[in-house]
Structure 1
Amino acid sequence: MPLPLIATLAALLYLVATGMQLVFLAQRGTPASRMPVTIAVLAMACHTVVAWDSISAADGVHLGFYRVAALMFLAVNAVCVLAILMKRPLHNLLLVTFPLSAVAVMVSSLGPQTESGSQLGHGLLVHVGSSILAYAVLTLASVQAAVLAVQDRQLHERHPGGIVKWLPPLQRMESMLFELLWVGVVLLSVAIVSGFLFVDDLFAQHLVHKTVLSIVAWLTFSALLWGHYQLGWRSQTAVRLTLAGFLSLMLAFFGSKLVLELILQR
């Protein structure tokens, strides 16, 4: 089957899963229904085929802007579905990640190649893999933080309707946020340390912004975890610092790739 058709099938399955989740919520059905997750697994299988074909080639691994975006959304979905299967109430995050994944997988199959292939040794594979997983987990944490902010505001304004009636209790939402942050910080630590060990010069001109912003993100998330357990930081403080750390991380990776590959075309 041609790659664009597989990508189209993946996108359609993601949208179907999103629609089914919305229907369950609108009908106040159980958000833990397995049907959207089952459809999502089929979408991810197609997504995996597209991602693998997009990044692998005879001349090495292609990690251009569009290709790596699709790969990261695949990782985001895999982490989210795995967490759901482990009884974590993250179903509502699928309403954000699945539509974006549909766009990413289509652009990956149809968009131009923006970076030449490169050979990755075992050390660099550890660095790239841990970076992608860290970004995936911290992306989910940022979406969780945004939902938590809406929930907290509605509860303080005494408007228990809307999104609040679909969500777990506020304390459970906060607990899930900090679980995601812990896992994300550990993975980001592995990514940064492996980068220093296996990348020739992390402070070279084309890498310095990525390196500095990644360290800033790590410091932000680490400060938040310390403040939560030592000073009791919660709710809006947690939300603000999570989103600030994620912004630094997003600029570290996609910001630098956007400038280098799509604007400067290097």
Structure 2
Amino acid sequence: MLSLSPSLLPSLLAALLYAAAAIYQGIRLGQGGKADKRLLYLLGGLAVGAHGCALLMQLLTPLGLSLDFFTSASLIAAAVIALILVACLRMPLENLLVLLFPLGTATILIAQFVPAGTVPLIHEEPGILAHILLSILAYGMFTIAVFQSMLLLLQNYQLKHKHPSGLIRNFPPLQTMESLLFGFLWAGWALLSLSLLSGWLFLDNLFAQHLVHKTLLACLAWVVFSVLLWGRNRLGWRGHKAIRWTLAGFCLLMLAYFGSKLVREYILHI
């Protein structure tokens, strides 16, 4: 039975718009052409707007901020898509949207229809909210980097085997794709650094029992990304090595945030 919550209508509208944009772009790329940017941005912008309305209704409660596992995933997806839509005005990133629009559809529907686990409410103290915002932006930027690395891997494979598909033929040059990847990694690393710093400043104890795994994994991810960026700057790391390090760091971050939330909300119920 469908939920009758106030966020139902904007959630369904956002999912429909994301799906329409993904199908349209996928068909155009499959035909070897390019999607009309104005139509793509219109569909994407309207979808993000509806997504944001749904999230406001799901997150804000009279007792505080309710940031459960699936709503967190939905929030990160909305932030990632919004960042890419804005970045597309200056950089050739439209091809990332063909992967991100389906992600938006899936996360908003899951957040709407899957029951939340045990969710501790967050009181809206400015320092804590700043830490949460920085964490979400950092995770979002690394999510973009992972999608970019997947497209780069596909592009590199098809170019080596000399059978580029319609999608790959519309990609920017390999060097541009790689430069964009490291741009996202630098931005994500800076945001993750600020997130860890704000956590140290505003949280009572970063190594409390319910935070220790998250903190340690986030610090390990920071080290992995630091080594990767050092290797790029000093040793010229690129290609498969850069992609492997990107995926390793992202997996640690995913375990830090979503792994700990999954265990706490659905297994331990704390």
2:151 maps to what in 1?
147
Is it true that 1:156 corresponds to 2:156 in the alignment?
A: no
**What is the alpha-carbon distance in structure 2 between the residues aligned to residue 117 and residue 130 of structure 1?**
18
**What is the alpha-carbon distance in structure 2 between the residues aligned to residue 151 and residue 202 of structure 1?**
41
What is the CA distance between 1:74 and its match in structure 2?
Answer: 0.8
Aligned residue runs from structure 1 range 18-167, under 5 A: 18-31=22-35, 33-86=37-90, 88-114=91-117, 115-161=119-165, 163-167=167-171
Larger mean CA deviation between 156-165 and 235-244 belongs to 156-165
**What is the alpha-carbon distance in structure 2 between the residues aligned to residue 234 and residue 207 of structure 1?**
34
Residue of 167, 172, 184 corresponding to 1:168: 172
CA contact (8 A) 2:214 2:260 kept: yes
Q: 1:192 to 1:19 in 2, by over 3 A?
A: same
What is the CA distance between 1:204 and its match in structure 2?
Answer: 1.1
TM-score of the superposed pair, with normalisation by structure 2: 0.94
1:219 maps to what in 2?
223
Count of residue pairs brought into register by the alignment: 265
1:199 maps to what in 2?
203
**What is the alpha-carbon distance in structure 1 between the residues aligned to residue 46 and residue 168 of structure 2?**
30
CA contact (8 A) 1:123 1:194 kept: yes
What is the CA distance between 1:167 and its match in structure 2?
Answer: 1.3
What is the CA distance between 1:210 and its match in structure 2?
Answer: 0.7
Larger mean CA deviation between 104-113 and 141-150 belongs to 104-113
CA contact (8 A) 2:96 2:147 kept: yes
**What is the alpha-carbon distance in structure 2 between the residues aligned to residue 78 and residue 236 of structure 1?**
28
Structure 2: gaps spanning 5 or more residues: none
**What is the alpha-carbon distance in structure 2 between the residues aligned to residue 12 and residue 22 of structure 1?**
15
**Identity percentage over the alignment?**
44
What is the CA distance between 1:165 and its match in structure 2?
Answer: 1.3
What is the CA distance between 1:160 and its match in structure 2?
Answer: 3.0
Provide Cα deviations, 1:101-134, integer angstroms capped at 9, x if missing partner: 1121122222323203220311111100000001
Provide Cα deviations, 1:173-200, integer angstroms capped at 9, x if missing partner: 0010011011111111110000011111
CA contact (8 A) 1:151 1:163 kept: no
Q: Return structure 1 stretches of 4+ with deviation > 4 angstroms.
A: none
CA contact (8 A) 1:72 1:136 kept: yes
2:12 maps to what in 1?
8
What is the CA distance between 1:68 and its match in structure 2?
Answer: 1.1
RMSD: 1.5
**What is the alpha-carbon distance in structure 1 between the residues aligned to residue 29 and residue 86 of structure 2?**
21
Aligned partner of residue 85 in structure 1, secondary structure: coil
